[in-house]
Chain A
Amino acid sequence: MTAATLSRQGKNSLPPWMSPPSVWVRAVKALVIVLIVITMIYPLVYVIAMSFASPSQARAGVVFPTEFSLDAYRAIFNGGTVTQGLTNSLFITVVGTILSLAATSMLAWGLARTRQVPGAKAVLILVLATMFFSAGIIPNFMLVKYLGLLDSTWSLIIPGLISAFNMIVIRNFFQGLPEELIEAARIDGAGEWRIFLRIVLPLSKPVLAVMGLFYAVGYWNTYFNALLYINDSEKWPIQVVLQQYVLAGVQIPGAVVSPDAPPPPGVTLQMAVIVLATVPILVVYPFLQRYFTSGVLTGAIKG
C-alpha cells in the first residue's frame, strides 16, 4: 500500500492494517483534548464576555454573564488614554510593517545571488550570526539614546527593522523563483530595480503576506522597548497602556459614561482594555493560520 492508495480512501477512514482504537482509548483521548481546548479558549472567552457584562453581574462575579452592557467601552473611549494608545500602536504597526517588508525584501534580493556577487556571502554570514547573540539591554539602550531616538515612536520601529530569520525565509523564496523569467526581463533591457519591483515582488506575494503578518503581530505586541525607550505617556503603545491599567492597577483617567452616572466597575474596564488590545490579533489570526501548514515556515526552519 502506498501513500496514493491511502489518500484515495478519504481522509477520515483508517488504513486497513490499522485496528480501530478501543472505546476506552478513544474516550480518554477525547477527554484530554476537550480539557486542552477548554484551557486554551475559555480564559479568552471569559474575558471577552465579562467586558460586556452588566455592572451588577460584573461586581457579583459570574462564570458567564447573562446581562450585557456596552458601558465599559463607552467609558474607555470617553477617557481618551486608551484610544491614544490604540492609535499609537496602529501607527507603529502599519508604518513598521511596510518599512520592514521593504527593507527585508531588498536585502533578501541582494543576497539571493551569493555566488555571483563578491562580498554577499560575507554579509549573509554576518546577518545570520545575529540570530545567535544580542548585545544586551543596556548597550541597545545606549545606542538608541545616542541616536536621539529616546521618547520617539521611531525607537520602536527602526532598531528592529529587519529580522534575520524573516530575511532568510524571503531569500529562500526568491531563490525558488523561475530564473528564466528574470533572465528574459534582463535581456529585454529591464533595470534591476524594475525587475525587483515588477517581477520579483509580485511573484512573491504569498511569502510577503506571511512575513508581513508576522512583522505586524510583532509591532502590535511591542512592550518592553516602549517601556525602555518611551517616557511620554502620550506616545505609549497599547501594550504599555494595558500594563498600566490592568496589571499595575492605575485608574483610567476620565473613564466615565457620563459625568453624573457612576463609573462602570473596574473589572469590566480592565477586561475591555484587554479585549481592545487583543482584537487586532484575533482579526488577522485566520489569515495567519492559513499559512502555518503551507510549509513556508517549517521549510525555512529546516533550511
Chain B
Amino acid sequence: MSVNIAESPEARTARAPGPPAPPKPRKPSLRQRIWRERWAYTFIVPGALFFLVFAYVPMLGNVVAFQDYSPFRGIEGSPWVGFANFTAIWTDPEVLTALRNTLIIAVLQLVFAFTAPIALALLLNSLISERAKRFVQTVVYLPHFLSWVIVISVWQQVLGGGGLVAGLLDGMGMPGFDAMTNADTFKLLVVAQGMWKDVGWGTIIFFAAIAGIPHDRYEAAAIDGATPWQRTWHITLPALVPVATLLLILNIGSILTVGFEQLLLQQPMVGADAAQVLDTFVYFRGVMGGQWGIATAAGLLKGIIGTILVLSANRLAKRLGGEGIF
C-alpha cells in the first residue's frame, strides 16, 4: 500500500512548459515557509490532533499491562507488578485454548478464504457475457456490506436449530440438525461465513490485476497452440502473484486477529472451548471479568507479535524477489 508522498500538483505543474522562469529568488527560510503556508495548518491541525488523541494516546494506556490495574484506582493508584501479567499469561490454560483456536482458524482461512477469491475471479473472468458477469458481481459483492450481526442472524435462520435446513431434514426424518451450535465443526463454519461475506469483495483487486494483462499475450499464446487452461496457468495466474503476495503479507500480519465480532457474537452459542480467540479473551477477561492487567498484557503481546510478523513477511517477500508493501 505505497502512497506517493512527494508528487503534489505543484510539483507536476512546475515541470510543465511555460514562459521562461525569472531568476530564482533565494530559498525562503523555514519560518518564512511556515508563515506563507499558515492557512494549510488550519486544515491539518484538527485532523492531526484527532489521530494523536484517538490513535497514539491510547497506546500509552498499554502501561496497565504492567499493573494490577482496576478502573476505580486508576493508572496512578494501581500497583506496578512488572512482568507478572505476562508470566501469568503463559500458565493460563484459557490463553492456550484461545491461541490454538486463533491459529487453527487463521490457517483454515489461509487455505480456503484466501484462495477462493482468486478462483472466483478466474471463473468470472472466463465468462463471455458481460451482462452475466456484471449480474454475478452485483450479487457476490452484496454480503460484504452487511454487518456481522446481520450475517450471523441470517445464517441462524437458515442453518440453526429450528431454521430452514433443520426443518427440511426434520421432514425427512433426520431431526436435531443445528450447524450453528456444533462445537466440532464450528471452525469450518467460521471460515464458511467469512467466505460467504467477503469472497466477492476479495475478487475486486484480482479483477483489477487481470484487466492490466495485455491482450496480445493471450493471442500469441493461442497462436502457439496453448489451450485455455494453459493460458490461465501461464499468463493469468503469474500476473496475479504480486497482488496475492501483498494480500498474503497483510494476512500474515493479522494472523492473530480472526473475525472479532463474528466470534464474539457466536461464542455464547458454541462455548469458549471452541470459540475463544485472543481478541475475545481480552474482552471477556478484561472488560467482563475485571482482570484488566492480564487482558491488556495479552492484547499488547498480540499486537507486538502481529507487527513483527508483518515486518518479517514483508522482508521475506522482498528477498524472494517480489514487491513488499513498504
Contact = CB atoms under 8 A, between A and B. Distances in A.
B299 interface: yes
A160 B50 CA distance: 9
Contacts of A301: 1, 205, 208
Interface stretch (B93-101, B102-110, B154-162): B154-162
B64 to A, nearest CB: 7
Contact of B265 (A61, A113, A143, A247): A247
B296 to A, nearest CB: 5
A54 interface: no
Contacts of A248: 268
B61 A17 contact: no
B219 interface: yes
Interface string B120-132: 1001101111111
A128 B3 contact: yes
A224 B61 contact: no
B148 interface: yes
A274 B155 CA distance: 11
Contacts of A103: 46-47, 50
A210 B162 CA distance: 40
A135 B43 contact: no
B33 interface: yes
A121 B114 CA distance: 34
Interface residues of A, number: 117
Interface in A150-190: 158-162, 164, 167-168, 172, 175-177, 179-180, 182-183
B147 A221 contact: yes
Contact of A116 (B3, B37, B61): B37
B30 A135 contact: no
Interface stretch (B19-27, B135-143, B182-190, B233-241): B135-143
Contact of B8 (A50, A115, A143, A271): A115
A175 B8 contact: yes
Interface in A255-303: 267, 270-271, 274, 277-278, 281, 285, 288-289, 292, 295, 297-298, 301-303
A202 interface: no
B253 interface: yes
Interface string B207-242: 110000011101100110000100000000000000
Contacts of A3: 214-215
A81 interface: no
A39 B287 contact: no
Nearest to A222: B147
B174 interface: no
B55 A130 contact: yes
Nearest to A246: B153
B136 to A, nearest CB: 6
A112 B44 CA distance: 10
Interface in B59-75: 59-62, 64, 71
Interface range on chain B: under 10, 10 to 19, 20 to 34, or 35 or more? Answer: 35 or more
Contacts of A134: 55, 303
B152 A247 contact: yes
Contacts of A95: none
Contacts of A132: 253, 307, 310
Contact of B295 (A19, A138, A288): A138
Contacts of A18: 218, 222, 228
Contacts of B223: 17
25 contacts: A3-B214, A13-B128, A33-B123, A41-B139, A47-B157, A113-B9, A114-B5, A117-B44, A127-B51, A130-B51, A131-B1, A134-B303, A135-B55, A136-B302, A137-B286, A139-B61, A145-B71, A161-B54, A179-B13, A180-B13, A278-B150, A285-B145, A289-B141, A292-B137, A297-B204
Given A139-B296, A180-B13, A281-B146, 9 more contacts: A33-B124, A116-B40, A118-B34, A124-B3, A135-B59, A179-B13, A274-B154, A277-B149, A298-B205
Interface of B: 1-13, 30, 33-34, 37, 39-44, 46-48, 50-62, 64, 71, 120, 123-124, 126-132, 136-143, 145-150, 152-158, 162, 164, 167-168, 196, 200, 204-205, 207-208, 214-216, 218-219, 222-223, 228, 253, 260-261, 264-265, 268-269, 279, 282-283, 286-287, 292, 295-296, 299-300, 302-303, 307, 310
Counting from the closest, the 4 A-B pairs by CB-CB distance are A110-B43, A107-B47, A139-B61, A135-B58
Interface of A: 1-3, 6, 11-15, 17-19, 21, 29, 32-33, 36-37, 39-41, 43-44, 46-47, 50, 61, 63, 103-104, 106-107, 109-121, 123-128, 130-143, 145, 158-162, 164, 167-168, 172, 175-177, 179-180, 182-183, 191-193, 196, 217, 220-221, 223-224, 227-228, 239-240, 242-243, 246-248, 267, 270-271, 274, 277-278, 281, 285, 288-289, 292, 295, 297-298, 301-303
